Amino acid sequence: MEPAGAAMPREFAALEDFPTLLRRRGLMSQTPLSPGPVDRAQFTETHATTILAFKFSGGVLVAGDRRATAGNTVVYDRADKVLEIDRHSIMAIAGVPATAWEMARVLEHSFQYFRRTQLQEMSVDGKVRALSKLLRDNFGFVMQGVGVVVPIFATYDFASHEPGPRLYFYDAMGAQFEVTEYAATGSGSPGVRGILYYENKWGKKPLAKLREDEAVTVALRALDTAAEADTATGGVDRSGKIFPIIKVVSQDGISTLAEEKIAAVFKRSVA
């Protein structure tokens, strides 16, 4: 038995995980059911970015561009990154869609099961922590460099002493942060946050006082600006007439803005 603090042998220090050690020792066969270590140079994950959300006079507006990329390749230009979880909750995703969509399905089923068994809605704190737990459970994959998800969660709180919209963003480890005004994640988020900060502080109105058309204008301008500097952000595809998905969470539930309305706002206020 080696004394505590003994240096790790060089051959062990170079290994990435325990299965790799077993294969090197000949204790695990490299069959189709037990493949060798993934060559990261030949494996590129699909990623979906960019998403944003902010509070306005009608509730919380949540928007996401449509582009999904793998490295420098555009995999899909109509990805749905703004997902309805229940009647008053939205999860917007940035990161690996396969992992994020599975998290969204688990959340949806969890909320439904609680509602049907307890005959009441899960509390907002319970919903927020449920997503946080899913992210923590996924952290093992994150440490291996796969399956990273950094979401935004928007909902409406009826049970609080001050009912109203609630908005949260998360890190990849599951830490949750409630924001009072706006949030953005994904590769294009630095540009988006700059736009939202400017509009909120020096625009004609603070974000919280914008009407719906004005809020849609700000969201479109932010995503279109991010797309100018970030190739992973689709923004507005003028030639393909592909617009971001925009949903609103309010006391009355979730409404999805029609593409025709988004196109009309874009033509009038952005293009």
The set of catalytic residues is 49
How far apart are the C-alpha atoms of 211 and 209, rounded to whole Å?
A: 7
The span from the CA of 216 to the CA of 223, in Å, is 11
CB 93 within 8 A of CB 51: yes
* Cβ atoms of residues 50 and 65 within 8 Å: yes
Q: What is the DSSP letter of 56?
A: E
| Cα–Cα distance, 80 to 234 (Å, whole number) | 12
Measure CA 260 to chain center.
25
Distance of CA 213 to the CA centre of its chain: 24
State CA 37 to chain mean position distance.
28
Question: What's the number of CA atoms in the CB half-sphere (13 Å) around residue 146?
Answer: 10
Angle at alpha carbon of residue 186, lines to 38 and 251, rounded to 5°: 125
